[in-house]
Structure 1
């Protein structure tokens, strides 16, 4: 292996491919195109004079040299991100970029409603909203703030419980008219995949053995499916109550609710721009629940 030092950006691409197992997955994680990832990996292998990945029909698999490199690069990553968090945590300016990640049910509903007012208050802070069901890693600075649901947040993160997101059963008016008085178990259902694990666990308790007619990884898609009359769906009230064409069919027990959290890494909690976002969003989102 060559003793030349590799560019850190190339090592970041290497980590993304190793973790995703494919160029396409790494490209999505990094926000670049497929060809950029390919060039970076090829360049890194040329610099190090070693083959890091086996190109397989199913994706990219680490070679023995790649496995060894992964351990080294992950240690470098830990040092770089610790330095980054430490320095950023001492930043007292109300300016710069704050990256927020949220699943679609929150980003398309409660979160979006308040960002205009935040921008009026803090014009020097640029917000970057990452919408998706993939859990971005706060420790590796893939995001600064995570808006998450679930009644037990990770112990490694700090943050604030905003309140409880309430759910109810919804359906289109035409669908409900065509199935008057039907028992819940007799309806067609719109369900969710493992991307919404806290919600699917609650659904399994409510309707054990229920097999959805359609599943989606997106609450926004589930809303559209329900409005199209595909079946009933359990949806967050803060989103579904605002949708014309949806009728609240039944209430759910209070225990069905899921806590809403604003989370960040401990090293970033005192960064002025991140604290400003947390201080603003906590009461603003609580009003929407």
Structure 2
């Protein structure tokens, strides 16, 4: 597909996604007439209309839906090519974006950034602290550091450390349980609770283990926490009689097509070494 065809396809896809010429124009940073001209050129070259114009905007014709799906595949392929080309040219210096959970970013990873600043001063690390998985296909992060039983298919990674989860409560008031909400419902502790704790025994919840710890300290109920948030913390006691420890691998992963970009590969290797050194903290030993 030569450049003119690819450019026209971009405009068609933008109209399909945004539903109008004006919205597509705004997204692409061009004027309304340019979008109209490019869409018309695509339709003329490929034998007929793609859209039906309605009172509310542009709608993809039913028999052209597969054209739009094919366009998305082409767009994703072009992004992959551009990403690979950029990665091949990238020097070791630059920015590497790391996504991890809020508690790992607060407790385990700060010392890693300090170490990397000393070892590779031209390399900058940005942390994205979130318990939700970021969209790697859109380059919102280069590396994920995540506790999980397994990785999704589009990511490749390694693990050399395990994170232990343990039940804790306030010393004098165990109460019921505090549960997990939002992205944490996908976690191993949430799966254990779903199988072993009746819903009426759950007094409340949160989407952050840091918040769950504070609810637990306040006496709301028993919380399942990463051991680095619970062990030795005033106002918390472990409750092994309520739940056996849960151990989950901690993965260092990248989008498959980015794993050999030099700066990303180097940071990933250093992260694995750092997590291995933090094995006692992560494992609760």
Is the shorter-chain TM-score for this pair beyond 0.5, marking a shared fold? yes
Question: CA offsets, 1:138-177, max 9 Å, x none?
Answer: 23322211112211212332111132110111123xxx22
The residue that corresponds to 1:191 in the other structure is 179
- Please say if 1:177 is aligned against 2:161: no
Counterparts of residues 233-248 of structure 1 (less than 5 Å): 233-241=223-231, 243-248=233-238
Within 5 Å, give how 1:1-289 maps onto structure 2.
40-41=26-27, 46=32, 48-49=35-36, 63-64=59-60, 71=69, 74-91=72-89, 93-172=91-170, 176-179=171-174, 187-196=175-184, 197-199=186-188, 200-207=190-197, 209=199, 211-241=201-231, 243-250=233-240, 252-254=243-245, 256-286=246-276, 287=278, 288-289=281-282
Unaligned 5+ segments in structure 2 are 37-50
Residue 84 of structure 1 deviates from its aligned partner by: 3.0
Q: Hey, what's the Cα distance between the residues in 2 that align with 1:54 and 1:115?
A: 54
Q: For residues 177-223 of structure 1, what are the alpha-carbon distances to aligned partners after superposition, in whole Å with 9 as ceiling and x for unaligned?
A: 245xxxxxxx3211102512123112223435564211111112112
Aligned residues of 2:173 and 2:219 also touching (Cα < 8 A): no
CA spacing shift, 1:231–1:280, aligned 2, 3 Å: same
Distance 1:198 1:138 in 2: 20
Quote the residue 1:183 is aligned against. Answer: none
8 Å Cα contact 2:25-2:35 kept in structure 1: no
Q: Secondary structure at the match of 1:264?
A: strand
In the alignment, structure 1 segments of 5+ residues that lack a partner are 19-36, 56-60, 180-186
- What is the CA-CA distance between 1:70 and the residue it aligns to? 5.9
**In 1, distance between residues paired with 2:143 and 2:128?**
10
Q: Does the C-alpha gap of structure 1 residues 90 and 63 become closer, same or farther in structure 2, counting only changes over 3 Å?
A: same
TM-score for both structures, normalised by structure 2: 0.71
Q: 1:265 to 1:245 in 2, by over 3 A?
A: same
SS in structure 2 at match of 1:78: helix
Tell me, in whole angstroms, the C-alpha distance in 2 between the residues paired with 1:122 and 1:95.
8
What SS class does the counterpart of residue 276 from structure 1 fall into?
A: helix
CA contact (8 A) 2:144 2:253 kept: yes
The CA deviation at 1:264 is: 0.7
Structure-2 separation of matches of 1:44 and 1:213: 53
Q: Take 1:160 and 1:209, find their aligned partners in 2: how far apart are those partners?
A: 35
Which of these two proteins has the greater Rg computed from alpha carbons? 2
Secondary structure at the residue paired with 1:142?
Answer: coil
- Contact 1:89/1:269 (8 A) holds in 2: no
Instruction: Report the aligned-residue RMSD.
Output: 3.9
